[in-house]
Chain A
């Protein structure tokens, strides 16, 4: 039953190999972490997204050629200050998993009217995936 569910859920054709099943469950675990981040952004509550990040995580971006950012606390402060953003849509564009590390590209639409692309790096700490680095680009 588990195998059938996985085949249906992830659109695998034919019997799933052990590697395919493992990869599918990794993607699902990472997806859940990212959804927490998106949900926290929608509700404007940093407490919802905090478990998605490692405490040493950083966030950086470039504006007018200059680098900005630092500790991920800057994101949490901005979220709580901005408040809810109910029309925000977050789409995971790509997930690249490599056993204990991963990168995720997220397209974000209508975040307080703005459009962003996030590129996240994650680490698998004691079985739980945590974001350690966020860089983003705001499309003007």
Chain B
């Protein structure tokens, strides 16, 4: 399997967790030290990735959510992914994710996102 395919499978776990509204499903896609940040009214918001897991569990299922890979840039042990997310409970987001290849497994270490 190509590196891009492997990375897509990891990210799909994150999307699937968003669809089901169950953070347990997406946890393995992230490193435990991962962070999530975004901007609201010019100010930086976010912190540990637990904030995403809590939000997903509290929002619940988002059956209409679809994710589209816009760009994947792999560099041996690091990668960035641009992901377009549609209809996440009616909202549209763009994620920019950074990943690391740790003991052969790709893990998201950083998520920044913009809500359109």
| A contact residues vs B (CB 8 Å cutoff) | 54, 56, 58, 60-62, 65-67, 70, 94, 96, 98-103, 105, 117, 119, 121-127, 130, 132-133, 135-137, 139
Choose among A101, A132, A139 the residue with the greatest number of B CB atoms under 10 Å from its CB. A101
Q: How far is the CA of A44 from the CA of B37 in the complex (A)?
A: 29
Q: How far is the CA of A67 from the CA of B44 in the complex (A)?
A: 26
A101 CB contact (under 8 Å) in B38, B43, B71: B38
A96 to chain B, nearest CB (A): 6
Tell whether, in the assembled complex, residue A123 and residue B44 are in contact, meaning their CB atoms are under 8 Å apart. Answer: yes
Tell whether, in the assembled complex, residue A101 and residue B75 are in contact, meaning their CB atoms are under 8 Å apart. Answer: no
> B96 to chain A: which residues have CB within 8 Å?
96, 98, 101-103, 121
> B116 to chain A: which residues have CB within 8 Å?
99
Name 12 interchain pairs, CB-CB below 8 A, sorted by A.
Answer: A56-B35, A61-B100, A62-B100, A67-B100, A67-B102, A98-B96, A99-B116, A101-B39, A123-B112, A127-B42, A130-B44, A135-B98
B44 to chain A, nearest CB (A): 5
Q: How far is the CA of A65 from the CA of B101 in the complex (A)?
A: 7
| Contact flags B71-106 to A (C-beta < 8 A → 1, else 0) | 101011111101000000000001010111111100
Majority SS of interface residues in chain A?
A: strand
Is B53 an interface position by the 8 A CB rule?
Answer: no
Is B61 an interface position by the 8 A CB rule?
Answer: no
B79 CB contact (under 8 Å) in A102, A119, A132: A119
Given A125-B43, A132-B44, 4 other A-B residues pairs in contact with their CB atoms under 8 A? A62-B102, A101-B94, A103-B98, A133-B112
Is B22 an interface position by the 8 A CB rule?
Answer: no
> A62 to chain B: which residues have CB within 8 Å?
77-78, 100-102
